[in-house]
Amino acid sequence: MGGIRAMDSVAETNARRPEPGWYGADPTRDELKDDPHDAYRQLRERQPVNLTPQGEWRLSRYADVQELLKHSHGGVRDLNGVIPGETAEASAASRFMLRLDPPDHDRIRNLVNKAFTPRALASIRPAVEPMVEAELDRVTRHGEMDIVADLALAVPAAAMCVMLGVPFDDRHRLARLVSLATYRLAIHAFPHLARECEAAITELAVYMHALIEQRRRRPTDDILGLLVNAEESGDRLSTDELLQQSIGLLIAGLETTIGLIANGMRCFSRHPAQWDRLGANPQLAPLAVDECLRFDPSIPVTRRILWRDTEFGGYVIPANATVFAILIAANRDPQVFSAPDHFDIARREARHCSFGGGIHFCLGSHLARMDAEIAFTAMARRFARVEVDEAAIEWAPSLFRVPGKMPAVLRPRT
């Protein structure tokens, strides 16, 4: 009897489907960029294992997000090895690690990882800091600035130049090309930018190709130089793989870091007591960066395709389904974070989900944290208050939560 009942309940679980809907969190709504947290709280509370009207699944509880990213049987391609939304040909040609499953992913990630040595990363800070100071001297003279152009973009763009071993003067051109190239990730949503995006990728490829050839002739110890010469058991990246990784790294690292720094400065503008705390305790900067990442992340979701039927919260999600991990909702799950809607730069709790998880965990997390620390500490040393003009914020037409413009008034320390 017990066996039959158990079989019945397995069959019931397999047959159960949540009622499809957006449950307050429709990502196509523009307002969700500016203020997404209430919508994602509703989703987490009303239907934590969510089936969207488009037939995709979304998980918003911390435990489910961690389970999906770290332990489920799945990857970034479907059971036919195709990236959802792309053709088989485009998928076959796509070699950036975030778009590959093992064993290809692991081989490429291991080789790229060899270039992100502690020494190569440590060389970025002393090169970037003086440049940021000089930029701030110049732009803040009149007591106001655009947080995006003058800080959030300036820092990672300078770090990018150090990584590639190119002069700082190239940063504006590079940043423009990388921003345009980023639309490739979801060009179907921005068809009017398709030509500009492809032209930017071609220009970037020509630029990077020349740098790679130079480093083949004369090895350098910048990150690109280490990448060109990275080797494991006689295995190296081919020229096409090198190009795709180096352009992919720029795309993965620029807009995301702009978002971290700009959204973080907005949090500080809204929570002046926490800004005072950082000013008085600069050693809190690393924790403050992580709190900004938790509280207002620039990448709200990441995606996996399940390779076998898998149960989440009493529902069986079928093999080959696309499942989104809602990082932004998991970061405020009250089961894991106390007073999750409270911005507290000294919080020491579970790790937030903003860098994803499992084998695709962000490879640039140290670099992103370092960039944000440089930005926040330079600003906190100079200014007693940074007041963002909320009404004048413009969101970039980006896939991520990245502001395009964020004017602010500055009150210098006396």
Tell how far CA 293 is from the center of its chain. Answer: 10
Q: Write down the least CB distance from residue 397 to ligand HEM, Å.
A: 19
Give CA torsion, residues 382, 387, 389, 393, to 10 deg: 60
Task: Kindly report the backbone phi and psi dihedral angles of residue 388, in degrees, each rounded to the nearest multiple of 5, phi listed first.
Answer: -75, 135
**Out of 355, 374, 377, 402, which residue is the one contacting ligand HEM (CB under 6 A)?**
355
Is 294 one of the binding residues for ligand HEM (CB under 6 A)?
no
Q: Would the CA dihedral through 280, 284, 286, 292 be positive or negative?
A: negative
Nearer Cβ to ligand HEM (325/410)? 325
Interface with ligand HEM includes 317 (CB under 6 A)?
no
Q: Quote the CA–CA distance of 326 and 335 in Å, as a whole number.
A: 15
Contact status: 262 vs ligand HEM (CB under 6 A):
no
- Are 97 and 245 a contacting pair, CB within 8 Å? yes
Question: Does residue 111 interact with ligand HEM by CB under 6 A?
Answer: no
Which of 60, 322, 354, 377 touches ligand HEM (CB under 6 A)? 354
Q: Which CB atom, from 147 or from 363, has the smaller least distance to ligand HEM?
A: 363
Single residue of 182, 298, 322, 398 touching ligand HEM by CB under 6 A? 298
Say whether residue 299 binds ligand HEM (CB under 6 A). yes
Binding of residue 136 to ligand HEM (CB under 6 A): no
The smaller minimum CB distance to ligand HEM, of residues 200 and 249, is found at: 249
Asked if residue 36 has a cis previous peptide bond (ω within 30° of 0), the answer is no
Binding string, residues 182-221; x marks residues near ligand HEM by CB under 6 A = ----------------------------------------
User: Shortest CA distance to 323 belongs to which of 312, 335, 336, 334?
Assistant: 312
Quick one: which segment of 59-67, 279-287, 314-322, 356-364 binds ligand HEM (CB under 6 A)? 356-364
Q: Does 363 bind ligand HEM (CB under 6 A)?
A: yes
User: What is d(CA 240, CA 95) in angstroms, rounded to the nearest whole number?
Assistant: 8
**257 is an interface residue for ligand HEM by CB under 6 A:** yes
26 vs 24: CA distance, rounded Å: 6
Cβ proximity to ligand HEM, 360 vs 410, nearer residue: 360
- 389 neighbors 407 (Cβ within 8 angstroms): yes
CB of 194 or CB of 361, closer to ligand HEM: 361
302 binds ligand HEM (CB under 6 A): yes
Binding residue for ligand HEM (CB under 6 A) from 157, 367, 375, 408? 367
Query: How far is residue 251's CA from residue 94's CA, in Å, rounded to a whole number?
Result: 14
Considering only 20-28, 51-59, 360-368, 379-387, which stretch makes contact with ligand HEM by CB under 6 A?
360-368
Out of 178, 226, 247, 368, point to the residue binding ligand HEM (CB under 6 A): 368
Please identify which residue in 264, 364, 403, 407 interacts with ligand HEM, judged by CB under 6 A. 364
CA distance 153 to 178: 12
For 230-257, the DSSP string reads: --BTTB---HHHHHHHHHHHHHHHHHHH
Stretch of 224-232, 246-254, 265-273, 382-390 contacting ligand HEM, by CB under 6 A: 246-254
Helical H runs in 354-399?
365-382
Cα 272 to Cα 17, 265, 269, 343, 380, distances in angstroms: 45, 10, 6, 11, 11
User: Considering the complex, what minimum distance in angstroms separates the CB of residue 254 from ligand HEM?
Assistant: 8
How many chain residues interact with ligand HEM (CB under 6 A)?
26
Position 323 contacts ligand HEM (CB under 6 A): no
Region class of 281: left (phi > 0), else alpha (psi between -120 and 50), else beta: beta
> Would you give the DSSP letter of residue 150?
I
Residue 162 interacts with ligand HEM (CB under 6 A): yes or no: no
User: Where are the extended beta strands (E) located within 6-62?
Assistant: 49-51, 57-59
Q: What is the contact surface with ligand HEM in residues (CB under 6 A)?
A: 69, 97-98, 109, 249, 252-253, 256-257, 260, 297-299, 302, 354-358, 360-364, 367-368
